[in-house]
A = this chain, B = another copy of it.
């Protein structure tokens, strides 16, 4: 077994734990869980997302997606609209309040991470960024794409 890959795997798990629900959420997600924050960010980055799209992005079932959007709507961070083009679809978009909290959270996390990485040289930070980019895009490619979703619903369901 390739030792380097094993090591990367283990490192990824550690960062995942740090950045998952048990590292981040309590400190800087205000009234959002990590899942809710991720969902909200998805909506933020893909205006007029459908419920299915959000579910796909989070690896949730559609009912899971419905519920998380319910919570976000109740808290005032997103709004639902029925698509005029096709009454079955639901267009979820972020509110100003939603944008505000996303900004605050990103800012907080950035400050924290900046502090954690403060001892590293600029080059090292750049290396980390590039490495993560490579990794994430490799992960993305690996995720089997649902063409129907990708093509049809990319930000224009309304």
Contact = CB atoms under 8 A, between A and B. Distances in A.
Given A116-B139, A124-B134, A142-B115, A12 B9 contact: no
Interface in A123-138: 124-136, 138
Given A8-B113, A129-B7, A136 B23 contact: no
A20 B18 contact: no
A11 B110 contact: no
Nearest to A106: B6
Given A116-B142, A134-B128, A138-B117, A12 B5 contact: no
A138 B12 CA distance: 14
B136 A11 contact: yes
Interface string A98-114: 00000000110110011
